[in-house]
Amino acid sequence: MTYCVAIKVAQGLVFASDSRTNAGVDYISTYSKMYSFDLPDDRAMVLLSSGNLATTQAVINCIKRDIENDTAVNLKNVHYLYDAADYIGKLVKQYQKEHGDTLGKSGISAEASFILGGQIRGHEQEIYLIYPQGNYISASEDTPYLQIGETKYGKPILDRIIRTDTTLGDAARCALVSLDSTIRSNISVGPPIELAICDANDFQISRYLSLDTGTQFFTSLQKSWNDGLRRAFNRLPRFEWELPELVKDSKTSSGN
């Protein structure tokens, strides 16, 4: 399994991904699921991947080869980010078709999903979710984030915090909390967590972090969040049937 999330706020884009890959529970390894490419100064793109590792590797290799060979359509020369999403969607379908039948006979899915985010000069920043079927959707003002992989455990905090006017720092922290909740609940999602931020109109990855289990910043973020949640929980209103005891207690202590 995998969990990747991309967030689009007014100040820029945030990308976060875990690094655990597994073929069954007895073959677990670590692979980056975040890719960037050698592109001209007028553009930046980040790709997050989920699904069959052979399919995602084949797609990434083909994207890089097409850039090197400067083919008719590649990430260097597309005019719009949705052209890039369309191009990647076609590659996904192509590689899934190539190996899908034989994989299907072994009960394995060849499917892969991607999130593509970035900016081409003259246009706004955008993020796209590219489905295994090759079609794609973009984020919107009302839904300013996209997820792939094990999406449910980490969704509630995104729904509560992320708005278009959220700062890049808060959006990045929210992505880390979302990853942390997922890692705690699904053993097939694991560190290191990669975090990339693209400031609007910067046309490059402005900041990048790789956070492993022992990384001090990540440990203190996890602790702070856990403590904060417990504090929030302990402040929740009491049920009516709990109150008499409190009253009794306070009477007893005032009588002392």
| Rounded-to-integer distance, Cα 55 and Cα 110, Å | 6
Say which residues have a Cβ less than 8 Å from residue 233's Cβ, sequence separation at least 6.
none
Q: Is residue 247 within the footprint of its own copies (CB under 8 A)?
A: no
100 or 144, CB closer to its own copies? 144
CB neighbour list of residue 7: distance below 8 Å, 6 or more residues apart: 13, 14, 127, 144, 145, 158, 162, 166, 171, 174, 175
Which residues 180-209 are close enough to bind its own copies by CB under 8 A?
Answer: 181, 184-185, 207, 209
Contact region with its own copies (CB under 8 A), list: 71-79, 108-116, 223-231, 248-256: 223-231
Residue 168, SS3 per DSSP: helix
Cα–Cα distance, 206 to 85 (Å, whole number): 22
**Which of 135, 143, 201, 226 is the binder for its own copies (CB under 8 A)?**
226
Minimum CB–partner distance for residue 74 and its own copies (Å): 32
Name the token pair of 149. 């992989």
228 makes contact with its own copies (CB under 8 A)? yes
Single residue of 217, 248, 249, 250 touching its own copies by CB under 8 A? 217
Q: Is 236 in the site for its own copies (CB under 8 A)?
A: yes
Residues ≥6 apart with Cβ < 8 Å to 81: 45, 116, 118, 119, 120, 123, 126, 128
Q: How far is the CB of 88 from its own copies (least distance, A)?
A: 28
Q: Is 153 in the site for its own copies (CB under 8 A)?
A: yes
How far apart CA 196 and CA 219 sit, in angstroms, is 19
Is residue 214 at the binding interface for its own copies, with CB under 8 A as the rule?
no
Q: Applying CB under 8 A, does 161 fall inside the site for its own copies?
A: yes
With CB under 8 A as the contact rule, the residue among 73, 109, 121, 169 that binds its own copies is: 169
**What is the closest distance, in whole angstroms, from the C-beta atom of residue 30 to its own copies in the complex?**
23
From the number of C-beta atoms within 10 Å of its C-beta (0-12, 13-18, 19+), residue 208 rates as middle
Name 209's bridge partners.
195
Q: Is 163 a residue that touches its own copies (CB under 8 A)?
A: no
Footprint on this chain of its own copies (rule: CB under 8 A): 152-153, 155-157, 159-161, 169-170, 172-174, 177, 181, 184-185, 207, 209, 217, 220-221, 224-233, 235-242
